[in-house]
Amino acid sequence: MPLLVMKFGGTSVATLDRIRRAAKRVGVEVAKGYDVIVIVSAMSGKTNELVGWVKETSPLFDAREYDAVVSSGEQVTAGLMALTLQEMDVPARSWQGWQVPVQTTSAHSAARIEDIQTENINGKFAEGMRVAVVAGFQGVSPEGRITTLGRGGSDTTAVAFAAAFGAERCDIYTDVDGVYTTDPRISSKARKLDRIAFEEMLELASLGAKVLQTRSVELAMRYKVKLRVLSSFDEQTDTSGTLVCDEEEIMESNVVAGVAYSRDEAKMTLISVADRPGIAAAIFGPLSESGVNVDMIVQNISEDGRTDMTFSLPTDQVARAEKAMEDAKTSGSINYHDLVTDTDVAKVSVVGIGMRSHTGVAAKMFAALNAEGINIKVITTSEIKVSVLIDRKYMELAVQALHDAFELEKVA
Ligand code: ADP
Ligand code: ASP
Ligand code: MG
């Protein structure tokens, strides 16, 4: 039988009523003749609550136990979804990541899927089961411990299952009806895109647009999974939502496809470090070993052989980073006068494949921010994006100003 993967995010399974509504959507596809693999998130807010409990118990927590705790939200919704389907007379069964099994690396809290074994689930399909409900976001390490895939990881579970089982399509049901030019919660002028190129979606996701987890887009691109984002609240047709697809499948597009933001950024500056060969390695080596994801980096002008080094990182990694830098100073591998942390910054980015062939995007971006009196603290660019770090209080204003400046409410 043809197979579909349907993923329901946190708001789509937030209550028993919503689970019933999602199960009805699944029932529609089963009635059309599809076998379905349903991937569920935890009820909305649940994972945040679990993460909060872990951090309150142990600020520099052991990531193995973090995973043991935060994976539990999906266990509940998987079982409830299977029960709901059974009540509707749809033959369904639930699976935890380790039961499938979904084999991952042992990088706890940010594990990567290495393999998904299809035998167990396919065996049940062969016996007449119509829906396999799988807990998203989780897997099992080579050591046999539960792992999680990073926040938003159920999207990645869904795409990985679609690839492993050769599904006809992977539908991501969420609380918005597709991918927009920017977060519709920040700008009322945001426009829904019918299609978006994998590469643009990849950049938007990695720069903070949490509608899809970055890794899920990477996998879809690599394994040619037909990926669609749509609302679990509206009635659906075969062309609803946004299709994430190859660049060649898109007829017209703006130079800038969208604006992304990341609220939870922090900026750290090491004041007066020795400007010598190897200093960057001596700073960023220990940060990486402590699991800190450094993003933007600026080394300032050097004076008398000393310089300031600035970098950005997620706010929740500040404590780890400070400890890594203090330890490196104690051990003598680096020396600095002061470590200054600014946790009130945000990153705003414009993304578009059109930047490869159009110049002036960065200049227009800086002019639009200047017109609002917004100061830029750090800048980075790549072939298809420009990102700036600014004071967090200006973040929403910056997103709106850029959306206006690039006229994203209009189709090219
Ligand atoms: P789920 O729980 O279904 O996984 P998420 O909260 O992870 O849902 O992702 C959906 C949210 O992503 C939307 O509610 C929206 O606020 C946000 N979002 C950010 N950028 C975009 C964008 N460009 N298009 C659509 N949604 C976006
Ligand atoms: N429940 C997890 C989270 O909130 C995974 C997901 O929803 O995709 O991050
Ligand atoms: Mg999500």
| Ligand (nearest to CA of 176) | 1
> Is residue 203 in some structural domain?
no
Does residue 101 sit in helix, strand or coil? Answer: coil
Same domain for 269 and 142: no
Pocket test for ligand 1, best of 172, 174, 215 (most atoms within 8 A of CB): 174
Distance between terminal CA atoms of the chain?
41
pLDDT given at position 253: 79
Residue nearest to atom 5 of ligand 1 (CA): 211
pLDDT given at position 291: 87
Q: How far is residue 244's CA from residue 178's CA, in Å, rounded to a whole number?
A: 10
Q: CA angle, 150 as apex, 147 and 155 as ends, to 5°? A: 100
Per-residue DSSP letters for 165-234? HT-SEEEEEESSSS-BSS-TTT-TT--B-SEEEHHHHHHHHHTT-TTS-HHHHHHHHHHT--EEEEESSS
Same domain for 289 and 169: no
> Is residue 229 in some structural domain?
no
pLDDT given at position 141: 98
Of 134, 159, 175, the position where a domain reaches its end is 175
- Into how many domains does the chain fold? 2
What are the residue ranges in the chain where pLDDT is below 50? none
Per-residue pLDDT tens digits for 111-127: 999 999 999 999 999 99
Pocket test for ligand 2, best of 113, 137, 264 (most atoms within 8 A of CB): 137
> Is residue 382 in some structural domain?
yes
Same domain for 279 and 387: yes
Of 122, 143, 175, the position where a domain reaches its end is 175
- Which of 118, 92, 114 shows the shortest CA–CA distance to 40? 92
Per-residue pLDDT tens digits for 288-337: 999 899 999 998 888 889 999 999 999 989 999 999 999 999 999 999 99
Q: Residue with structure tokens 């200054």?
A: 340
pLDDT given at position 340: 97
pLDDT given at position 300: 84
182 lines ligand 1 (CB under 6 A): yes
Q: How far is residue 207's CA from residue 347's CA, in Å, rounded to a whole number?
A: 8
Same domain for 165 and 269: no
pTM: 0.93
Same domain for 385 and 270: yes
Of 136, 154, 175, the position where a domain reaches its end is 175
> Is residue 248 in some structural domain?
no
> At 135, which CATH number?
3.40.1160.10
pLDDT given at position 412: 74
User: Residue 7, annotated ligand binder?
Assistant: yes
Same domain for 400 and 302: yes
> Is residue 62 in some structural domain?
yes
Four-CA torsion 196, 201, 203, 209, nearest 10 degrees: 120
Same domain for 165 and 25: yes
Same domain for 150 and 31: yes
Cα 176 to averaged position of ligand 1 atoms, centre (Å): 7
156: domain range? 3-175
Q: How far is residue 82's CA from residue 134's CA, in Å, rounded to a whole number?
A: 9
- What ligand 2 atom has the least distance to the C-alpha of 151? 9
> At 347, which CATH number?
3.30.2130.10
Residue 403 in contact with residue 259, Cβ under 8 Å?
A: yes
Cα 114 to averaged position of ligand 1 atoms, centre (Å): 26
Q: How far is residue 132's CA from residue 117's CA, in Å, rounded to a whole number?
A: 14
> Is residue 182 in some structural domain?
no
Please give the backbone phi and psi of residue 203, each rounded to the nearest 5 degrees, phi first: -65, -50
Asked if residue 101 has a cis previous peptide bond (ω within 30° of 0), the answer is yes
Q: How far is residue 388's CA from residue 163's CA, in Å, rounded to a whole number?
A: 35
> Is residue 387 in some structural domain?
yes
Contacts for 379 with CB less than 8 Å, ≥ 6 apart: 296, 362, 386, 387, 388, 389
Q: How far is residue 221's CA from residue 251's CA, in Å, rounded to a whole number?
A: 19
Pocket test for ligand 2, best of 77, 154, 174 (most atoms within 8 A of CB): 154
Contacts for 354 with CB less than 8 Å, ≥ 6 apart: 253, 254, 255, 256, 257
> Is residue 271 in some structural domain?
yes
pLDDT given at position 373: 97
